[in-house]
Amino acid sequence: MIANITTIMYILSVTDETINNGFLQKGMAISRIDNEDAFQIYKFYNYMTLINNTDLDSDDESEVTSPLKAENVYLITGKFSTTQDGSINVSITTNVQLLIDKEDIPIIKPTEHLLGKTLGYAELTESGYTLQIQVKPYLSKDQFTPFTVNLTHPPNGRFKNALTKARKNSTVHTTGVFFFAKDQLYCEILEFQFVSAKIESDNSIVVPWKSKSDSHNEGSSKSVIEQRISLI
């Protein structure tokens, strides 16, 4: 399943180690999430495959991904999972250095892209709709624990009809603004769609080639493969 995140982060610390045909960077970063002193903590992993097996600091090599440096600001995307202490584990897939001073880091709530299964029906309160989904991303062999996200939406929002049609175990894809509240993960919906869902369909469309196909099938026998497909 998918759990991707996009945010702007300030690198607090980073270490490098050589593995296989590249480098693995591990470290800690933060992002600014409001006008006060609030911030979100990230524990990141940044794997770089080098075309030329040379020193990490060399200017002559071409790298598939860019190395991160402490006390710099980056726009990153990556796969993520949550932790019990409220920090976020991120396996970075792309990063772009932003040439801004650390004092001028913009306020940004992380944007996430999720593919998961609904755990039940959407609930409606005065504040809006809430729908729980379970996501199970794969970051590494040691990081693939499922976690629950509470999707939120205004009571008169444009996705209210879709949310009311959600059934347990529907597979949905959503994009939204990520935030923690009372030790729970929330996502304010920006986009929402079903990948598969247990909903009734009132399909009255008649395809124009049906009558011709029916008459053709009456005069011909099905092949072995067609018979197997019809039994699925």
Each residue of 32-59: pLDDT tens digit?
988 888 899 999 999 888 654 444 454 5
CA distance 212 to 210: 5
Residue 208, pLDDT score: 72
193: CB partners within 8 A, 6+ apart: 162, 172, 173, 174
| Residue 225: strand, helix, or coil | helix
Half-sphere exposure of 36 (CA within 13 A, CB side): 2
Residue 99, pLDDT score: 94
CA distance 167 to 123: 12
Q: What is the pTM of this model?
A: 0.73
The stretch 65-83 carries a mean pLDDT of 91
**Residue 221 banded pLDDT, cuts 50, 70, 90:** low
3-104 has which CATH code? Answer: 2.40.50.140
Which residues are 193's β-sheet partners?
173
Residue spans in the chain of domains classed CATH 2.40.50.140: 3-104, 109-232
109-232 has which CATH code? Answer: 2.40.50.140
CA distance 46 to 89: 11
Q: Do 193 and 162 meet the contact criterion of CB atoms below 8 Å apart?
A: yes
What is the separation of C-alpha 142 from the centre of its chain, rounded to a whole number of angstroms? 18
Please give the share of the chain, as a percent, with pLDDT higher than 70. Answer: 75
